Every structure is written in structure tokens, then in C-alpha cells.
Amino acid sequence: MPLDLNCDLGEGESPAKTEALMRCVSSANIACGGHAGDITSMENAIGLALRYGVGIGAHPGSPDRAKFGRVEVRLLPSELSALLVQQISGLETIAHALNTRLRHVKLHGALYHITERNPELAAAYLETIQCWWPRLIIFSLAKGKVLNLAKQRGLAAWGEAFLDRAYLPDATLVPRAEPGALLTRFSELKARLLSLRNSGELTAREGTLLRLRPRTLSIHSDSPNSTRIARLAAATLAAHPPTPSPACHKRKTP
């Protein structure tokens, strides 16, 4: 199955950078008012996604803008559900106003990782999606617990691998605070891309080979040289264009 390429967008990057990244991805995870994002950034991102034929996804995060939603916060399952309904509904309202709909959902930062470790929060997340948006595709960690639980519930779910993050031998990400957590060498990034495209594998720390077989690959808009990484990924994956549209899009004339 062809690989999808996704990017977290509308997180405070410039509109020009949003557009540059949108030209090269096939899925956009749009910040919807938690860790980042407001009405203007959501409208801009959705408009660009429509222009370039990119799948539109909600990217809810903990409402901790000072720390960009990347520091773990204590949440009750009911609080997580309320957070999700508020943020996803906000983005959905804007999407409907622009005559389109959401295709997927991907948690941001601390929420993404805490649901992998906390069964009660994972259940609350999946129950909320199943109740309110049962047709959304869930993007979650390849080989992770959320992916497995989503499939058990009969939800559409795509395993995700990160192009710009280092992995531990247990198939989780190296914490951002640790040295080498972000991949920046283009030779290393291209080797990972080719390996994931051809065999679904990547090499973690200590030389451990992980067989992830992801359906979607992720880059972060705030990673160093993220636009160049996106272009590299789009070109490398061009032999197997992602669904629903080619990996890199030419600008459409009005």
C-alpha cells in the first residue's frame, strides 16, 4: 500500500511555510486551538489543503501554549474527552463552512504519548472518536497500543512512523530532551525513508531493527529544515504516490 506523508501544521509557522509544506504532503494535521492554532490559522490551513488536495486532520493538544503541549499534564478521562470534543468540533465547524470535512485525527505531543501509556486515557480517546467521529482515521504510533486498541474497536487506524525523530528499541520515541532525539542529517533521513518505503523498517538506538510497517510517515513543521525534509520525502516517495493525491502538488490556478 502506498505511503502517506503527514505534517503537523498551523502551529505558529508563517503562512508561507505552511503553504510550502502543504505542497509536499498528503495529510495535514491542523492544530485546533489547544497547544497552538486559532480561527485564522485553521482557515488558512484548510484553504491550502483544499488547494493542494491534502487530507485534512484534527491535531488536538493539551492547552499549554507556553510549553507547546509537549509537557505531560494530569488529565482525567472525562477531561480528555471534553478537550477533544471542544478542539475537534472547532476545526470541524470551520471545515464545514469551507464546504469540506475532516478525514483523520492525530493527537499532539504529550497527549499522543500519554494515551500510549495510560489505558484509561486511551479508552477515553477512542470512545470519544467512536461516539462523535466514527469515520475519522486515527493516526497513531506504529506498533503502539492505541493503534491496536483502535483496530479492536473496528475504527480505521493508520500506524505512523516519524522521519525526524530517533527511536528507542521498544519502538517508542527518544524523549526530546535527550541528545540525538531529532534527526537532522539528510543522509540519515533519506536512508530511513528508503528503508520505510521498501521494507517498513527502521533502525533504532543500539542498532535495533524495528519492523513497523507504517501506513503514514510524519514530519514536524518546527523541526530544523522541515521544508527541505518535506521536499526530500516527497521526491523519495514519488515512486509510490500516497493516497488520496500525489506526494507533491503543483499549485492550481483559480
The predicted-structure confidence for 4-18, as pLDDT tens digits, reads as follows 999 999 999 999 999
**Peptide bond connecting 244 to the previous residue in cis, omega within 30 degrees of 0:** yes
The pLDDT tens digits of the residues spanning 169-178 come to 999 999 988 9
Question: Residue 231 corresponds to which amino acid?
Answer: R
CATH of the domain at 97: 3.20.20.370
111 in a structural domain: yes
181: left (phi over 0), alpha (psi -120 to 50) or beta: alpha
Residues in the chain: 254
62 in a structural domain: yes
Q: What is the reported pLDDT for 251?
A: 34
Among residues 32, 38, 39, 81, the alpha carbon closest in space to that of 58 is found at: 32
Q: What is the reported pLDDT for 18?
A: 96
Q: What is the reported pLDDT for 82?
A: 97
How many structural domains are present in the chain? 1
56 in a structural domain: yes
250 in a structural domain: no
251 in a structural domain: no
Q: What is the reported pLDDT for 112?
A: 96
Domain that includes residue 26, residue range: 4-239
Question: Residue 102 corresponds to which amino acid?
Answer: L
249 in a structural domain: no
245 in a structural domain: no
Which segments in the chain show pLDDT lower than 50? Answer: 240-254
> Cα torsion for 209, 211, 216, 217, to the nearest 10°?
0
Q: What is the reported pLDDT for 248?
A: 40
pTM of the complete model:
0.90
33 in a structural domain: yes
